[in-house]
Amino acid sequence: MSPFSVPIVYKHNDFIVINKPAGIGVHREGNAPGIIELVQAQHRFNKLWLVHRLDKVTSGLLILALNSHAAAQLSALFSEKAIQKYYFALSDKKPKKKQGSIVGDMEKSRNGLFKLTHSKQNPAITQFFSKGVSGLRLFVLKPATGKTHQLRVAMKSLGSPILGDTAYTGSPSDRAYLHAYALSFVYQNESMTISTMPQTGEHFLDQAQTALYSEYLTPNTLPWPQKGSTQKP
């Protein structure tokens, strides 16, 4: 897939779900168009509404509303935490524990980055599983909150920074190995789970890795670790 090709994974009368490539921001940066501009141009939409975000380095599912009413409804679902997001991540570092929850407040660090603290006044909460394969470890992540850089900070706090996420001490690679692979929610009384597998990244596309993805295609049915099982930074 070209880094500038943005496939539509799911179409609804009120919204589309795209597979955002890694390396494209949601907003324009200088001469580089943001994801909405790209999708409008490629798929000939007059206007799209952004209702949530993915980091520039992250690939995967992003919902774009097709009208203002749907944008308001979807934004409300996100603010009520009624839309659950699931991610794949890879690391080449052994985690402090293989599954559980990562809970802690996030504070601004330097250079626009964040850090996890021991306090829990308004904590970021992330549940996760992990499994070793091909010399790496695949993490399946379920953020219960939606804070900026939450998963990248959580992985660093585990001692397993995301492969390719050099901003958070990850080992250099061909991309940052974080992919939003599934969304689960109810919209206008219709229950839906939408998923898409990574399309780029030599390690994401490794045969041993791709063989594991089918285990997690219905993530809302998995036995997720309890949120109270905390991992300190």
| Domain contains 181 | yes
Contact 170/157 with Cβ under 8 angstroms?
Answer: no
DSSP secondary structure string for all residues of 127-160:
EEEEEEETTEEEEEEEESS--TTHHHHHHHHTT-
Q: How confident is the model at residue 227, as a pLDDT?
A: 57
Q: How far apart are CA 154 and CA 18, in angstroms?
A: 25
- On the CB side of 36, CA atoms within 13 Å amount to 17
Helix or strand or coil: residue 85?
strand
Structurally, the chain folds into a number of domains equal to: 1
Chain position carrying tokens 């660093």 = 156
Q: Is residue 29 packed enough to be buried (19+ CB in 10 Å), middle (13-18) or exposed (0-12)?
A: exposed
| Domain contains 232 | no
Q: How confident is the model at residue 1, as a pLDDT?
A: 39
Per-residue pLDDT of the chain (233 residues; tens, 9 = 90+): 334 689 999 999 999 999 999 999 998 888 888 999 999 999 999 999 999 999 999 999 999 999 999 999 999 999 999 999 999 999 999 999 999 999 999 999 888 899 999 999 999 999 999 999 989 999 999 999 999 999 999 999 999 999 999 999 999 999 999 999 999 999 999 999 999 999 999 999 999 999 999 999 999 899 998 754 444 43
Helix or strand or coil: residue 231?
coil
| Domain contains 227 | no
| Domain contains 32 | yes
| Domain contains 218 | no
Helix or strand or coil: residue 168?
helix
Residue 166 φ then ψ, to 5°: -65, -25
- Which CATH number belongs to the domain containing residue 135 in this structure? 3.30.2350.10
Q: Which domain holds residue 20?
A: 8-212
| Domain contains 88 | yes
Residues assigned a catalytic role:
55
Report in angstroms the alpha-carbon separations of 98 from 102, 125, 142, 200. Answer: 11, 16, 14, 25
| Domain contains 225 | no
Contact 21/1 with Cβ under 8 angstroms?
Answer: yes
